[in-house]
Amino acid sequence: MSMPSSAPSVIPAASVTPAPAGASAASVPSPLHRVVVAPSGFKESLSAQAAADAIAAGVRRVLPAAEIDSIPLVDGGEGTAVTLAAATGGRLVALPATGPVGETVGTHFALLGAQDTAVVEMAAVAGLSLVPRALRDPGATTTYGVGELIRAALDTGVRRILVGCGDSGTSDGGAGALQALGARLLDADGFALPPGGRELVRLARVDPSGLDPRLKDTELLVACNPFNVLCGERGVARVFGPQKGATPAQVEHLSAGLENWARVLTRDLGVTGTDLRGGPGTGASGGLGAGLAAVGARLLPRFEVLLDHLDLDARLARADLVLTAEGALDHQTPRGKVPAEVARRAKLYGRPVLALAGTLGEGAHEVPGVDACHGIMPAPMALADALLRAAELLTDATERALRMILLGSRLPAGRTAQAAGTSAAEVVSGTQRPSSVR
């Protein structure tokens, strides 16, 4: 979750007044009987499951009798393997692999319930959270461990491997993954390239003769954001490089390397029918999409691949209110982010959507399908504090937002009830508990 030191405008906790202690708990039933909680994770602070738990806690403070359908959502990034294994009755396979800065890390992949599909979550072995802040240099990090996980999945005999892209700490175009799968990346003198995206400007030839032959007999799918492309003005290095620690000069160097990578891969692997430079999803996870596409992977819109396992549409259709969340809500949200996809699907069934976010940036109030948005910080705070208190802040913000929603829904009833002699305390209290926000 990216939280600046100055908070967006939110409803301050002090403006929420507890219902009077003597108010009737059943005088005005809540119109919200079933609430769907469908958040993404908050980068570097909360997993999707932790975010869902925090939101659900806020809902229970206000609507203790409501049915809460908690659906932690994955977008290919952190938590994807765990979530899909749980949803399908599958299991995790734990193993060591090469991390993004070259060290060995403990990681995993998933075998789904039918045991014929493996899920490799790139963030579990090459994610940004595995790169210490002092070592964040996307020119040096590698996806080698992703290739190791794919090989381990091949060893199980599965017919299909789904690679989830998201939350990456790399910008090597998937070069490391291809090296782990047996490809040789050579410079003009015939020497093997070291790991890292900064080396790709020196790439002269890719030798695919050592690629794992089992790849040809296995369906390789990549769940990715189709808005992310490898090269160009909206290429992955320019859009995401700064988030991973790249300076402006490094961004240009990485961009040049990825341009060269796309050109050499296309030539030496005989890639046809796929534009590695600008095709949809080629920029996923620092260009991992392009690297895997070069060895035959199909790049698919991540939500079409992942959310069907969670029966999301049917669950949204039964909701009275849908709550979604992500670390930042802004002009980038409609470009393949979880809140936008949840809102799009919820609107197919006419369901209202409230989005909660660590920060509300430019365009936050213009996300299609989102009826209202609410920042979770009640006051400016240091980033470290915000990350540490993210669950608490999210729970409190959920409570504040729901109280405002219920107040708005009851104002007309309040005027009618007062005219009939019913006390204002009875009208406002409804089925709410007194506020616990401090």
Q: What is the pLDDT along the chain (438 residues), one digit of tens a residue?
A: 544 433 333 322 322 223 333 333 333 457 899 999 999 999 878 989 999 999 999 999 999 999 999 999 988 999 999 999 998 999 999 999 999 999 999 999 999 998 899 999 999 999 999 999 899 999 999 999 999 999 999 999 999 999 999 999 999 999 999 999 999 999 999 999 999 999 999 999 999 999 999 999 999 999 999 999 999 999 999 999 898 888 999 999 999 999 999 999 999 999 999 999 999 999 999 999 999 999 999 999 999 888 878 889 999 999 999 999 999 999 999 998 999 999 999 999 999 999 999 999 999 999 999 999 999 999 999 988 999 999 999 999 999 999 999 988 877 544 544 444 433 323 233 333 444 544
Question: 184-186 and 205-207 as β-strands: parallel, antiparallel, unpaired?
Answer: antiparallel
CA distance 357 to 398: 10
> Residue 411's pLDDT is what?
73
Judgement on whether residues 60 and 142 belong to the same structural domain of the protein: no
> Residue 17's pLDDT is what?
28
Strand order in the sheet with 160-164: 91-98, 104-111, 117-121, 160-164, 219-224, 298-301
CA distance 356 to 368: 15
Helix intervals (H) in 245-322: 248-268, 284-293, 302-306, 312-317
Judgement on whether residues 84 and 207 belong to the same structural domain of the protein: yes
| Secondary structure (DSSP) of 391-407 | HHHHHHHHHHHHHHHHH
Total Cβ atoms within 10 A of residue 258 = 31
> Residue 244's pLDDT is what?
86
Does 434 fall in a domain? no
Burial (CB count within 10 angstroms: exposed 0-12, middle 13-18, buried 19+), residue 373 = buried
8 A C-beta contact, residue 78 and residue 167: yes
Does 350 fall in a domain? yes
CATH number of the domain to which 255 belongs: 3.90.1510.10
Judgement on whether residues 203 and 300 belong to the same structural domain of the protein: yes
Judgement on whether residues 44 and 96 belong to the same structural domain of the protein: no
Does 111 fall in a domain? yes
Does 228 fall in a domain? yes
Q: How many domains would you assign to the chain?
A: 2
> Residue 106's pLDDT is what?
98
Return the exposure string of 6-39: e unless at least 16 CB atoms fall within 10 Å of the residue's CB, then b: ebbebbeeeebeebeeebbeebbebebeebbbbb
pTM over 0.75? The answer is yes
Question: 117-121 and 160-164 as β-strands: parallel, antiparallel, unpaired?
Answer: parallel
Judgement on whether residues 393 and 365 belong to the same structural domain of the protein: yes
Does 314 fall in a domain? no
Judgement on whether residues 136 and 273 belong to the same structural domain of the protein: yes
Total Cβ atoms within 10 A of residue 388 = 13
CA distance 222 to 301: 8
Question: In which element (H, E) is residue 154 found?
Answer: helix 144-155
Judgement on whether residues 238 and 337 belong to the same structural domain of the protein: no
Does 7 fall in a domain? no
Single out the residue of 308, 390, 401, 307 nearest to residue 353, CA to CA.
401
Side chain identity at residue 249, one-letter code: A
Does 5 fall in a domain? no
Judgement on whether residues 43 and 155 belong to the same structural domain of the protein: no
CATH number of the domain to which 413 belongs: 3.40.50.10350
Does 315 fall in a domain? no
Judgement on whether residues 88 and 147 belong to the same structural domain of the protein: yes
Judgement on whether residues 53 and 131 belong to the same structural domain of the protein: no
Q: What is the token pair recorded at 223?
A: 């769940």
User: Residue 87 is part of which domain span?
Assistant: 80-305
Question: 372-375 and 353-360 as β-strands: parallel, antiparallel, unpaired?
Answer: parallel
